[in-house]
Amino acid sequence: MSIKEYFVSIFKGFYSLIKGMEVTGKELVTPKVTEQYPENRAELQIPERFRATLEFIYDENGNHKCVACGNCERNCPNQTIKITKHMAELPDGKKKMKLDEYLYDLGSCTFCGLCVQACAFNAIRFSNDFEQAVFTREKLVKQLNYLPEKDDAPAPALAAKPSAPAAVEKPATPSADETNQETKENKE
């Protein structure tokens, strides 16, 4: 090693030290921001694309779009989603897949979004509700189809009218109108 190489290596080391101290110095004079969570929950700005937990998309009638195809379950890299389904026969004789249970394990989810991308029916999405802390791992397993599924079948048509009218029994409990009338009579 020559004297020239020795001084060049010292200069490079000193330059590297100055560059590192420059980054540290900038952070030293930057104003600090401390989040006062949980006191400032109302002012928190959660980004729209933040992935917190998986949820079904329900319409105003309480129906979800999931047809139990299983694409999300197959595309999940660590088997976070478990779907149980059965084949139901419709009144017109056709068969349709019905969803029994849609379980989602938040504790093993990597939030990759492959399940949402694989869903051809746009039935699931990630919410940005980030407060998911629980004390036991069992509470991290969530059932997404929490609302009962509506029947697709129309109400059965009434049978032909019977030839003789059936005797109509009076209900055992009085109606609200009868109760109100009885109390008015008692007061008089």
**pLDDT computed for residue 100 by the predictor:** 92
Query: H/E element holding 4?
Result: helix 3-29
Q: How does pLDDT run along the chain (188 residues), one tens digit per residue?
A: 789 999 999 999 999 999 999 988 998 888 888 878 888 888 888 888 899 999 999 888 888 889 999 999 999 999 999 999 999 998 898 998 999 999 999 999 999 999 999 999 999 999 988 888 899 999 999 999 877 666 554 433 434 434 444 444 444 444 444 544 554 454 45
DSSP code string of 104-157 = EETTT-----HHHHH-TT--EEEE-------SSGGGGEEES--SPPPP-SPPPP
Question: Is the full-model pTM beyond 0.85?
Answer: no
Tokens of 50: 């933040």
Q: What SS3 class is residue 23?
A: helix
The DSSP secondary-structure symbol of 42 reads G
**pLDDT computed for residue 149 by the predictor:** 64
